[in-house]
Structure 1
Amino acid sequence: MDLLNVIKAAGIIGAGGAGFPTHAKLTSKAEYILLNGAECEPLLRVDQQLLEQFPDRIIKGLEAAGKTIEARKAVIGIKGKHKAAIAVLRQRIAALGLSGYVEIMELRDFYPAGDEQVLVHELTQRIVPEAAIPLKVGCVVINAETALNISCAMEGSPVTETYLTIAGDIPCPVTVKVPVGTAIREVIRQCGVTNIEDYAVIDGGPMMGPVMKDIDGYVTKKSKGYILLKKEHFLIRKKSVGVEQARVIGRTACEQCRMCTDLCPRYLLGHNIQPHKVMRALSYNLEDLKEQQIAQLCCECNACELFSCPANLHPKSVNILYKKKLAEKGLKYQPSQLEPVTRSAREYRLIPSKRLIAKIGLTAFDRPAPLTQIVFQPPQVRIALSQHIGAPAIAVVTVGEQVKAGQVIGKIPDGSLGAAVHSSFDGTVVEQSGNSIVIKVGSYV
């Protein structure tokens, strides 16, 4: 079986949060394969530790992916502050005889260094055109954990677990490996938080992750972390503002200072995204949606909303509002035919991570979250059939069937983009709904 089919069979998806099926990403040829180890979301500590603790597997996974797309160079992008991980990686690259193929490039400590298009520019000096993907400029980007999963797949192991960080206003932040389908409530409890109801929980990083309406969900292959903060914390209150409320506030208070635009990472790369113009359209109730198609260039990094705006408004939410309106009208942004050029002020407008962390009130919680071995043995797991971009997997097991850890329980629909799904435990299928499969762990009934 060639590597693409190995990856496909293992159910590997982008582990950085997007969840794009990796076998589909690696079908094209590119000049560079880039490994995203930036992990620029505050408080998350997964990739930096995986790179230090599993360097050989990650390097081998990256090399294999690079050879598959016939890349002439593999580049690992990691922030220069992670000196221990960088030292280990350099030593292991040399020991594996890959110094001529795999290179490490140290990233500056700014947000969002891990944005795919920002990363491409930082590592190659190329600019991904508006509304395009890195492949357009000869690059394919994969996440550090994705490279680890590729290496594991080459050894016969499908994706049944994910690494995530539990952090925030808690005594002992940790990073743990969790079986897919484990209840989020159980993960948080096992990590030492017993008074869960006192907290609001952010699913993912504090910048882009949403506040969970409840925590009765389950871990998926693309889960990266849970940030626990008291419900009255600024960040929770800010993120809890709905789109309609954000619209009302924006209409009455935007002063058109254009800070949201001047610090936008995609604008600084030369794209035409200008949140202040979208805010202006909202303020004056402009009806011509064609003029607001620039909203579709928003990557939703939240820098405008949580850092840039001096009036504490919601430009990202307004962009989302217009994205929805444009989709309803079937309108799509037409990219400029001009070659994008970085704005001359970009070097002076990168957002330092420490300043960002202070601005959103997380300095006191910016601590290590060491990779810790915790054995999760839940009574049951609920495994989603849609944990990825594309069509949901089709269940291939039935209620009452006994399954083994690593067994395929959901296959990709014929002719569709998708990812296979596997059982994370030995057990018995006790429920099979349209969107998930419930397995009673270790029980045969």
Structure 2
Amino acid sequence: MNLLDQIKDAGIIGAGGAGFPTHAKLTSEAEYILMNGAECEPLLRVDQQLMAIYPDEIIKGFAEAGRLVNAKKAIIGIKSKHGEVIELLKERIKALQLDGYVEVGELPDVYPAGDEQVLVYQLTGRVVPETGIPIMVGCVVVNSETALNIYKASQGIPVTEKYITVTGDVPNRVTVKVPVGTPVMDVLKLSGIEDFTDYAVIDGGPMMGPVKTDIGGFITKKNKGFVILKKSHFLIRKKSVTMEQARRVNKATCEQCRMCTDMCPRYLLGHNMQPHKMMRVLNYKIDDLEGQKIAQLCCQCNMCELFACPAGLHPRMANLYFKEKLAEQKIKYKPEKTEFEPRSIRPYRLVPSKRLIARLGLRDFDLPAPMTDMEFSPAVIRISTRQHVGAPAAPVVSVGQQVQAGQMIGQIPEGSLGAAIHTSISGTVSEVTADYIEIRRN
């Protein structure tokens, strides 16, 4: 079995984003393969620690992925503030005799350095076109945890575990490895909080992660971290605003200062994303479909809403409103050009992470979350069939069947984009639905 088939069978998906199946991404031909080790979301600590603990495995997996796409150069993107990790990576690259092919590209400590299109520009100087993806400029991007999983796949090990940071306004901040399918509450309680009545949980980073409406559920291959804050915290109140509330506030207060546009990372790359225009269209009910289409260029990074707007309004939600409206009508934005240049003001509009953290009211919680070796033995797990981009995995097990840890329990439907799923514990299949497979430990 070749490496691409091993990656496909292992069920590898993007470990830090939307969950795009990695085997599909690695069928492309690219000039560069880039590793996203920026981890630009405040408070999350997974990638930086994985690169320190498993440098050889990550480098090997990354280099092998580069060879699959015939990349001429493999560049690890990591923030320059992680000096010790950078030196370690450089040392191990040389020891593995991969210098000349794999190199370290240092990134500024700004948000959103880990945005895929920002990362491509910082490491290669190329700008991904509007509505485009990195392969359009000869690049493929993988996450550092994904690179680790690629190495494991080459050793015949499927994805059954996930690294997660638990942090926020809590007594204990930790980063842990947990079996996929573990109850979320088991992980949240590692924070030292037992009663969550007065707390809310952000699923992911504080900028892009949504507030969980239900803190139940089960760990998926896409989970990256949980930020636990008091319900009274500014960030929780801001993220809990409904679309209708946002529309009312926007209409009453927006003065068209255009700061949301001037700080937009995609606008600064030369794209036509202009949130202030979406605010204008929304507030005055301008019936201009062509003008509304630029909302589809929004990457939902939340820079406009949580940092740029001096009045604390909701330009991201204005973008989201029109994105959803246009999607319902099957209307798509069509770029007018294919070549883009960053705007000259870009170097002066980059937002330092520390400044962003202070603005979010998280400075007191910007503390280490050390990797901690813990034994998780959940009595019951639920493996989602829909934890990736594409078609849900098709179950290949039935109720009452005995399964062993690492066994494939769901496969990619014939002719579809998707990812396989595997059980993370040995036990008995107790339930099979279109959404999940439940397994009870023996």
TM class, shorter-length: over 0.9
Kept in 1, the 8 Å contact 2:170–2:191? The answer is: no
Equivalent runs, 1:415-426 vs 2, <5 Å = 415-426=415-426
Q: Deviations over 1:23-69 (max 9, x none)?
A: 00000100000000000000000000000110000000000000000
Kept in 2, the 8 Å contact 1:218–1:382? The answer is: yes
Kept in 2, the 8 Å contact 1:130–1:336? The answer is: no
* Matched AA of 1:247: R
Q: Deviations over 1:331-374 (max 9, x none)?
A: 10011215211100000000110010000100000000000011
* Matched AA of 2:419: A
Kept in 1, the 8 Å contact 2:171–2:191? The answer is: no
1:289 aligns with 2:289: yes
Aligned residues: 442
Percent of matched pairs sharing the same residue: 63
What secondary structure, in the 3-state scheme, does the structure 2 residue paired with 1:201 have? strand
- Counterpart in 2 of 1:251? 251
- Counterpart in 2 of 1:212? 212
- Residues in 1 aligned to 2:349 and 2:173: alpha-carbon distance in whole angstroms: 31
- Counterpart in 1 of 2:335? 335
**What is the TM-score with the length of structure 2 in the denominator?**
0.99
Q: Deviations over 1:185-205 (max 9, x none)?
A: 111124432222321000000
Q: Deviations over 1:209-235 (max 9, x none)?
A: 000001111100010000000000000
Equivalent runs, 1:140-155 vs 2, <5 Å = 140-155=140-155
1:124 aligns with 2:120: no
User: Following superposition, which runs of at least 4 residues in structure 1 exceed 6 angstroms of deviation?
Assistant: none
- Residues in 2 aligned to 1:400 and 1:193: alpha-carbon distance in whole angstroms: 36
Give the gaps of 5 or more residues in structure 1.
none
- Residues in 2 aligned to 1:243 and 1:118: alpha-carbon distance in whole angstroms: 28
Q: Deviations over 1:279-315 (max 9, x none)?
A: 0001111112221100000000000000000010011
* Matched AA of 2:43: L
What secondary structure, in the 3-state scheme, does the structure 2 residue paired with 1:74 have? strand
What secondary structure, in the 3-state scheme, does the structure 2 residue paired with 1:165 have? strand
Q: Deviations over 1:126-145 (max 9, x none)?
A: 00000000000000000000
* Matched AA of 1:310: P
- Residues in 2 aligned to 1:423 and 1:244: alpha-carbon distance in whole angstroms: 41
Q: Deviations over 1:369-396 (max 9, x none)?
A: 0000111111100110011000000001
What secondary structure, in the 3-state scheme, does the structure 1 residue paired with 2:28 have? coil
- Counterpart in 1 of 2:32? 32
303-312 or 242-251, which deviates more: 242-251
- Residues in 1 aligned to 2:13 and 2:371: alpha-carbon distance in whole angstroms: 22
- Residues in 2 aligned to 1:165 and 1:289: alpha-carbon distance in whole angstroms: 42
- Residues in 1 aligned to 2:9 and 2:51: alpha-carbon distance in whole angstroms: 24
Q: Deviations over 1:121-168 (max 9, x none)?
A: 000000000000000000000000000000011111100000010000
* Matched AA of 1:246: A
Instruction: Quote how far apart the aligned CAs of 1:320 are.
Output: 0.5
- Residues in 1 aligned to 2:192 and 2:378: alpha-carbon distance in whole angstroms: 16
**What is the TM-score with the length of structure 1 in the denominator?**
0.98
- Residues in 1 aligned to 2:413 and 2:240: alpha-carbon distance in whole angstroms: 36
Equivalent runs, 1:22-421 vs 2, <5 Å = 22-421=22-421
Cα RMSD after superposing both structures: 0.7
* Matched AA of 1:435: D
- Residues in 1 aligned to 2:229 and 2:59: alpha-carbon distance in whole angstroms: 35
- Residues in 1 aligned to 2:42 and 2:331: alpha-carbon distance in whole angstroms: 35
